[in-house]
Amino acid sequence: MTKILFTLFLINKSGVVFFSVTPAMALKGWIEGDESADEMLSRLLTEGSPFFFLPPLHRLPLRVGNVLELVGPSTSAKTQILIQAAISCILPKEWNGVHYGGLGRLVIFLDLDCRFDVSCLAQLLKHRIMEANGLSSKEHREQQLGDLLNCDAKRQPNMFYDEELFAVCMRRFLYVRCYESFEFLTTLKTLHYRLRRESEAHGISVYCLLIDSIGAFHWVDRACRPLPMGGDNRKSLSLLGVSETVVQEVSNLLLLHPMVVIATRTTILGDKSSANEVPW
Amino acid sequence: MAPLKSLELEYPIIDVNFQNFCASHAIFSVEDFVLHDLYQLAAFAEQQPTSERLKEGITQVLNIIDNLHQPWLNGLELLEDSLQNKQVLSTGFEGVDLLLQGGLREGQLTELVGPSSSGKTQFCLQTAANVAVKNMGYVAYLDTGNSFSPQRIAHFAGQISESAFNQTKQKIIQKAMSSILCHSVFDIFSMFDVLRQLEFDLRSQMDRGEYRVPLLIVDSISSLISPVLGGSGSQGIDP
């Protein structure tokens, strides 16, 4: 509780500082177009809690527009973190009186590793739903202690809603696989139109873009160094060209669809040239 | 990659004017299109006299690009597909089956990593024998280090088959051995050849469905890839 208050205080303070320091001459029109600190606060509060409550992401004040990279060796549960984040995103805040504490938004999963196991996601989602329901059915059972019939009747509707809720949540999880850099780039290029279509179809917007293993094609792209044809202006599908285009596309996308981007990257074991790891 | 000129026949909106406009921004093919910032291109198109047609052309190329990636699926469709189409193959080792929650899954790549002489080849041979004996289809075995041993396969197949009679046992062993297709590959290009041939065979037989290859084993892939990557052996790939 104190942590949240402290962060809000920071936003408030920074809002005030911003508006008092900037000179009002040529930028006046530009400044007036933005929202005031008060409006920004109310927007952030109504957007729902931007914090993912599951460790280790709960320590980060993730907000839309942030790009987070999870780096680690091969079996350090990075994809698990992505799956948990996805589940927090697709679960609704409340459903039929049961509190799930999710965000109720769409999630896009770009699988570059092609190792995604959907049954793992389904299992974890069911577990989360049953966990939230288990508490409420327990309360019901305590309320109606001597009345077995009532208990059964109350429990059955919960199980029925589980199925429906499960289906609704699974439909909010959008998945695409990329087997090479070119497919990755084409997916990113057409992502904007896809997101628009999906948002209209579901009525909710995307909150999260999850990329599993952004370095998946690193070695392949590094090995393919096609000769640049037709002058200097022409880019090629080399490592540099692909990386630049990916960064450009993601930043363009974030301007149109404000969302959180989380990408994983595998460090190669025993590679002495890998970056220093910040102790978590 | 397809040069823009070749798309003119099918999509008349990609006319010479559009191609010249793209050429002025060093875009000659669909690949260049994908690498270029399209919002910037659209902004430049605005300044041209034929801006509407140019923007239509850009939209048309975007539609073409939309067909060049894998289809989008939602979670429910993914789950249904994995439950209906993807079988679980038992490895023959109870402990490993428990760890893998049933066994090896179709459509998934399972990597077996370990130092040399840790039993990886034996595991591969046992799994191949198990799948072959249980009549789940053919097994494609790509052997890079001459470690494939038919004697071991026969031994495992004999162990797995539950028949007590010698004759039926021999028949089972023979049938199992004939469903394991072993290819010796010593460099990555011959492996690509074998895989392409396999893909072609499977695709051409898809309607009849008699030629099923549920298991593909590569023993071992690091000896094919480390010469290509070069550098010291500590690039993280253990044999």
Residues in chain B closer than 8 A to A167 (CB atoms): 76
pLDDT > 60? residue B65: yes
Strand pairing category for A173-177 and B73-74: antiparallel
Q: Which of A183, A189, A237 sits opposite B70 (nearest CB)?
A: A183
Burial class of residue B105 in the structure, from the number of CB atoms within 10 Å of its CB (0-12 exposed, 13-18 middle, 19+ buried): middle
| Contact map slice: B 8-47 vs A, CB within 8 A | 25-26, 28, 31-32, 34-39
Asked if the C-beta of B2 comes within 8 angstroms of chain A's C-beta atoms, the answer is: no
Nearest partner of A174 among A154, A191, A156, judged by Cα: A191
- pLDDT for res A156: 45
Note whether B124 and B139 are within 8 A (CB): no
Of A175, A189, A234, the CB nearest to B78: A175
pLDDT single digits (tens) B154-196: 888 888 877 777 888 888 888 888 999 999 999 889 999 999 9
DSSP calls for A221-261: HHH--PPP-SSSS---SSHHHHHHHHHHHHHHHHHHS--EE
Please tell me if residue B198 touches chain A, with a CB cutoff of 8 Å.
no
End-to-end CA distance of chain A: 22
Question: A248 falls in which pLDDT band (50, 70, 90)?
Answer: very high
Tens digit of each residue's pLDDT (9 = 90 or more) over A170-190: 999 999 999 989 999 999 999
A36 three-class SS: coil
pTM as predicted:
0.75
pLDDT digits (tens, 9 = 90+) for A100-148: 888 889 999 999 988 888 988 998 998 888 888 875 555 545 544 544 4
pLDDT in tens, A269-280: 554 444 444 444
Q: What pLDDT band is residue A12 in, cutting at 50, 70 and 90?
A: very low
d(CA B95, CA A20): 67
Q: Is B84 on the interface with A (CB under 8 A)?
A: no
A258 pLDDT higher than 90: no
Q: What angle do CA A91, B71, A185 make, to 5 degrees?
A: 95
The model's confidence at residue A257, banded by pLDDT at 50, 70 and 90, is confident
Beta-carbon separation of A194 and B25 below 8 A: no
Average pLDDT value for residue range B8-29: 83
pLDDT score for A19 = 36
What is this model's ipTM?
A: 0.78
Whole-angstrom distance, CA of residue B106 vs CA of residue B101:
13
| Number of CB atoms found within 10 A of residue A112's CB | 24
Q: What percent of chain A has pLDDT over 70?
A: 65
In 3D space, the residue among A278, A268, A276 whose CA is nearest the CA of residue A74 turns out to be A268
Give the number of A-B residue pairs with CB atoms closer than 8 Å: 108
Structure tokens at A94: 């409340």
